[in-house]
Amino acid sequence: MVERVALITALILDRPMCVECVTTRVEMPVDETIAIIELIEGAVTVHREIRRCVACGNDRPTVFVDQPAL
């Protein structure tokens, strides 16, 4: 489980990606992907906006996390 949280966080870190593309990349069912995104939201701010997905290039609802300030 920890590996999946880390993988999804890495995928959406400062790169807007739609849930469908995240799901495809992590090879998990959509409901599990959404549950992990909600878990990540407990620790950091996950933005949900209609933007261009970096994976498929379509304007869709995307999720992303801001990179932490150094």
For residue range 18-30, list pLDDT tens digits in order: 999 999 999 999 9
**pTM metric for this prediction:** 0.87
- Dihedral pair phi/psi, residue 41, rounded to 5°: -60, -25
Strand partners, 62: 18, 49
Fold category of 2-65 in CATH: Arc Repressor Mutant, subunit A (1.10.10)
Helix (H) or strand (E) holding 61: strand 59-65
So what's the pLDDT on residue 67?
A: 75
So what's the pLDDT on residue 16?
A: 95
For the chain, list residues with pLDDT below 50.
none
Under 8 Å CB-to-CB from 62, ≥6 apart: which residues? 16, 17, 18, 48, 49, 50, 51, 52, 53
So what's the pLDDT on residue 25?
A: 95
Residue spans per domain, the chain: 2-65
